[in-house]
Amino acid sequence: MSVLIVGSTALDSIKTPTAENPRLLGGSASHAAVAASFFAPVKLVGVVGKDFPKKYVTLYKKHRIDLSGLQVQEGKTFHWSGEYEVNMNNRRTLLTELGVFEKFTPHLPTEHKKSPFVLLANIAPALQHHVLDQMAKPKFVVADTMDLWLNIALDDLIRLIKRVDGFVLNDSEAHQLTKEDNVFAALKKLHKMGPKYVIIKKGSHGSILSGPKGAFICPAYPLPKVVDPTGAGDSFVGGMMGYLSTAKGGVDANIRRAMIYGSVVASYCCEGFGLNRTTRVKRADIDKRVSDLERLTKF
């Protein structure tokens, strides 16, 4: 089964304490799509401008990502720039140039509307709604978000949360949304808002799932060095959705293992700038780190 991924397709300029890299391939949908492609066929929906480098289209194609839902419009590709502190859990946005994103409306090709697994990666909640409105009975829909939408589109976001099966957000967003400091209390409140599965991401400390079978504490892969964590959250949820879409036995039976696979793909993402490392990974590398995590957490 394939995964439909809708989100931002961007050029990212990233600054860390030791290096700077301009105009890398980025965006929530790009990271999630590459991550999911290790497990399943992926259909990407997004928008780029006429300035979008051909080498990035080639990269998508190397991962066999279906680009029939990628619009190419007159104008500039969405450009985001961020800077990390020495503690790479802390980042600030330096620049957001919307470009063609400003007037973007995601139109799904007919074939895409039947996709069973849908990932609404981080974009404006109104656009996430627009995608859901076009879908014909998807089997499993997960939405991701960011603090910006909590600040400027809260009503749309709350309506969206009611419409999805799974909702993913990071710990500070969960705190902002629920006013709860305790992550388990936040999970409880988030369930009351609608979704059957809620995942709170905690950066280098992993993530916590709350679902019908209770809670699951998913570790992050222990990395001795992080080069650039941009897109780690998107890689996590993309990898998870890719794995889930091909696993036999339904979501409940597979979501924990799917999170582990997502966590491992996210670890590769952190080892290079943008998608530089992730796009060089092989499925066997992923399986090796999954085995490592299995050993590290068994008791």
Residues that bind ligand AMP (CB under 6 A): 8, 10, 12, 26-28, 80, 96, 122-123, 148, 230-234
Structural tokens at position 149 = 């939408």
Alpha helices in 135-168 (DSSP H): 147-152, 154-163
Rounded least distance, CB 122 to ligand AMP, Å: 5
Contact 46, 8 (CB under 8 A): yes
Nearer Cβ to ligand AMP (2/8): 8
One-letter amino acid of 145: T
Strand residues in the chain grouped as ranges (E): 3-6, 10-15, 20-26, 42-49, 65-73, 78-84, 91-97, 117-120, 140-144, 166-170, 197-201, 207-211, 214-218
Cα dihedral 210, 229, 231, 261 sign: negative
Nearer Cβ to ligand AMP (236/243): 236
Rounded least distance, CB 229 to ligand AMP, Å: 6
Nearer Cβ to ligand AMP (216/273): 273
CA atoms within 13 A on the CB side of 189: 15
Nearer Cβ to ligand AMP (232/260): 232
Rounded least distance, CB 44 to ligand AMP, Å: 14
Rounded least distance, CB 12 to ligand AMP, Å: 5
Nearer Cβ to ligand AMP (247/265): 265
Rounded least distance, CB 124 to ligand AMP, Å: 7
Phi-psi category of residue 288: left, alpha or beta, with phi > 0 → left and psi -120 to 50 → alpha: alpha
